[in-house]
Amino acid sequence: MSRDTIDKAKKESVRTRLLEAALASIRRKGYSATSVDELCAIAGVTKGGFFHHFKSKEALGVAAADFWSEMTGALFANAPYHEPDDPLERVMAYIDFRSALIDGPVEEFTCLVGTMVQEVYGSSDAIRAACDASISGHAATLEIDLEAAMQKYGRTDGVSAQSLALHTQAVLQGGFILAKAKGGAEIAKDSAAHLKRYIRLLFQAEVQHKNQS
């Protein structure tokens, strides 16, 4: 292994440690309460090392949002909810998968980008945009199944696959907020269950309408 390869690996390791520290701290207590000094201490990195990789705390926030998208993207891409043949059942299985992840301490199941954007949407356009890209990008992965379900079961009253996919994220993120307010996971799991009922009823109503026509 060449010296350049070793140096590159070390640099990537330092950057990754800082990002992992950011994910843990921001999910636990928020972006504003997370300091650069704290992240350096957690990651075992000097302050000079931090600013070698990130020109500012804001730059770290943007990178953390992107890092979160990469991590969660791999998790969801390989999740079992893609297996059902029926597109509506894939959507139902997605919600079940999200619900199964809601467990343990609040900071372990809530969303990094949802946490950050609530704090900084008016003070950092760069972080706001990165959080939007993360949330909207994940929602977009549901659009194919929702569109296929609409093609199969019918949905012509102005509901688009994109708007419904974003609505799933609105419900889930809202459940996370309530979990933080109440200090536990149960309300977030209830919100996911209500979302599943809503989508099921949405498509059932369309099928019943067609059968009665």
Strands annotated E in the chain: none
Domain that holds residue 182: 65-212
CATH code of the domain in which 183 resides: 1.10.357.10
Residue 1 in domain: no
pLDDT digits (tens, 9 = 90+) for 180-195: 999 999 999 999 999 9
The answer as to whether 58 is a domain residue is: no
What angle separates helix 125-153 from helix 87-101, to the nearest 10 degrees? 140
Tell me, what's the pLDDT at 156?
63
pLDDT at residue 42 above 50?
Answer: yes
Q: Is residue 7 part of a domain?
A: no
Is the pLDDT confidence value at 110 over 90? yes
Q: Has residue 40 been placed in a domain?
A: no
Q: Is the pTM of this model over 0.85?
A: yes
pLDDT bucket at 66, cuts 50 / 70 / 90: very high
Query: Per residue in 161-177, pLDDT tens?
Result: 999 999 999 999 999 99
In a domain, 50, yes or no: no
Q: Which residue has the tokens 């292994």?
A: 1
User: Is 11 among the domain residues?
Assistant: no
Identify the weakest region by mean pLDDT among 82-91, 118-127, 141-150, 151-160.
151-160
Residue 23 lies in a domain: no
What DSSP character marks residue 212?
Answer: H
The total number of structural domains in the chain stands at 1
Q: What are the backbone angles phi and psi of residue 91, rounded to the nearest 5°?
A: -65, -45
In a domain, 96, yes or no: yes
pLDDT score, position 204: 84
Both structure tokens of 85: 């043949």
124 near 59, Cβ under 8 Å? no
**Rounded to the nearest 5 degrees, what angle is found at the Cα of 192, between the Cα atoms of 190 and 198?**
105
